[in-house]
């Protein structure tokens, strides 16, 4: 028996749906383009790509490109540039997810078994490479060297952030500043570019081209920071049914995130020894995750992480202050606000 839609409104999902509704035809065109351009005569490519691209991701990043373009006065009536670039952004993101799966040996992604678990390491790396190259082909089709500069720089910065994350893995001496560098690189830089190119496709955006570009880039950066901070908090506190993310993934991988840094810094000698064994040396036993969760709660690790996320979300909203009040700007502000409320 089918159930009616849930009566409980998730404010984060609601904000996303409202934004999606404002760019509905653009998003339909983008999804169609994504499916079309992940085709290849090499059968394993669309097969594996479909597993991750079509697995019902939130399409947050391409949505941002589409919405920022529309905010700047560029929509389907003006052309397909924003659609091309939104698909390109999603391909870069998908390539990163595929390579992340290899990297993190994660068994779950978006609530489904990861592509890597089904198809193997090799296929994930190579199909990721294909999608990455395809992303650049889409940008070339767009034809703007300015846009190519923004997105190729973002792609390099994402990789730098991922490598930096690898270097800080298991390293409890990581500073908060370095952690912020990691998430700024691996997550926020693609959010930045996704929003920035929205301004670049438009002929005559409100505020003028350069100011619109700077404001949207700033919005994207801060939104990305908030998003990743909440993601890292969720890893120590979410209901896995809600987001398809298993609690404790980061802990098991020895990933250094803010909740851990907070608990480690504030912990007594016994707690510090606990973190050094479990995260520092990666020697984990049955029951360690529960101990970690208790320690993080004791030192308000989740609250302090969410507080930082709220700071960035507020910054993101204020970056849009110059844009005239209109539904698109409001919807983008709502996304910033509710990103933080993903944590219930």
- Asked if 343 interacts with its own copies (CB under 8 A), we say no
Q: Note whether 90 and 132 are within 8 A (CB).
A: no
- Could you say which residues in the range 102-131 bind its own copies, by CB under 8 A? 102-103, 121-123, 125-127, 129-130
Structure tokens at 133: 């190259």
Closer to its own copies by CB, 46 or 322: give it: 46
User: Residue 108 pairs with which residues in a beta bridge?
Assistant: 113
- Asked if 99 interacts with its own copies (CB under 8 A), we say yes
Which of 17, 137, 175, 294 is the binder for its own copies (CB under 8 A)? 137
- Asked if 79 interacts with its own copies (CB under 8 A), we say no
- Asked if 179 interacts with its own copies (CB under 8 A), we say no
| Cα–Cα distance for residue pair 290/242, rounded to 1 Å | 20
Which of 24, 145, 265, 283 is the binder for its own copies (CB under 8 A)? 145
- Asked if 232 interacts with its own copies (CB under 8 A), we say no
Span near its own copies by CB under 8 A; candidates 59-67, 98-106, 284-292, 310-318: 98-106
Specify the residue for token string 């698909």. 87
Smallest distance from the beta carbon of 137 to its own copies, in angstroms?
Answer: 5
Smallest distance from the beta carbon of 85 to its own copies, in angstroms?
Answer: 14
Q: Note whether 226 and 312 are within 8 A (CB).
A: yes
- Asked if 53 interacts with its own copies (CB under 8 A), we say no
Span near its own copies by CB under 8 A; candidates 25-33, 64-72, 151-159, 237-245: 151-159
- Asked if 152 interacts with its own copies (CB under 8 A), we say yes
- Asked if 140 interacts with its own copies (CB under 8 A), we say yes
The CB density around residue 198, as the number of other CB atoms within 10 Å, is 31
- Asked if 175 interacts with its own copies (CB under 8 A), we say no
**What backbone phi and psi angles, to 5 degrees, belong to 144?**
-90, 120
In degrees, to the nearest 5, what angle opens at C-alpha 162 toward C-alphas 156 and 166?
140
**What backbone phi and psi angles, to 5 degrees, belong to 74?**
-115, 115
- Asked if 136 interacts with its own copies (CB under 8 A), we say yes
Structure tokens at 214: 């700077």
User: Which among 163, 230, 157, 224 has a CA at the least distance from the CA of 194?
Assistant: 224
CA distances (Å), 279 to each of 64, 88, 271, in order? 35, 36, 12
Largest Cα–Cα separation, the chain = 63
Q: Of all helices (H) and strands (E), which one includes residue 108?
A: strand 108-109
- Asked if 61 interacts with its own copies (CB under 8 A), we say no
Residues lying near its own copies in the complex (CB under 8 A): 40-45, 95-96, 99, 102-103, 121-123, 125-127, 129-130, 132-134, 136-137, 139-140, 143, 145, 148-149, 152-153, 155-156, 158-160, 162-164, 166-167
């Amino acid at each position: 028996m089918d159930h009616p839609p849930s009566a409980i409104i998730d404010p984060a999902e609601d904000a996303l749906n409202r934004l999606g509704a404002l760019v509905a035809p653009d998003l339909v065109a983008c999804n169609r383009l994504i499916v079309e351009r992940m085709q290849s005569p090499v059968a394993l490519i669309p097969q594996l790509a479909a597993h991750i691209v079509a697995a019902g991701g939130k399409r947050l990043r391409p949505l941002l490109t589409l919405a920022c373009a529309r905010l700047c006065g560029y929509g389907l009536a003006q052309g397909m540039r924003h659609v091309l670039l939104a698909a390109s952004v999603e391909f870069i993101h998908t390539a990163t997810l595929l390579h992340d799966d290899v990297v993190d040996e994660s068994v779950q992604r978006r609530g489904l078994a990861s592509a890597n678990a089904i198809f193997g390491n090799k296929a994930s790396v190579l199909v990721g490479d294909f999608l990455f190259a395809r992303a650049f082909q889409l940008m070339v089709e767009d034809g703007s060297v300015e846009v190519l500069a923004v997105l190729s720089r973002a792609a390099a910065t994402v990789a730098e952030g991922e490598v930096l994350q690898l270097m800080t893995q298991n390293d409890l001496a990581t500073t908060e500043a370095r952690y912020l560098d990691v998430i700024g690189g691996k997550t926020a830089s693609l959010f930045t570019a996704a929003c920035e190119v929205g301004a670049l496709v438009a002929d005559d955006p409100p505020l003028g081209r350069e100011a619109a570009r700077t404001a949207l880039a700033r919005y994207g950066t801060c939104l990305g920071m908030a998003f990743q901070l909440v993601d890292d908090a969720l890893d120590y506190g979410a209901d896995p049914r809600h987001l398809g993310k298993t609690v404790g993934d980061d802990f098991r991988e020895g990933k250094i995130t803010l909740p851990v840094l907070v608990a480690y810094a504030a912990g007594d000698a016994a707690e510090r020894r606990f973190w050094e064994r479990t995260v520092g040396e990666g020697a984990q036993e049955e029951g360690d995750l529960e101990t970690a969760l208790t320690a993080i709660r004791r030192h308000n690790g989740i609250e302090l992480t969410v507080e930082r996320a709220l700071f960035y979300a507020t910054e993101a909203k204020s970056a849009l202050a110059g844009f005239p009040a209109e539904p698109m700007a409001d919807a983008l502000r709502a996304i910033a606000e509710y990103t933080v409320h993903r944590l219930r």
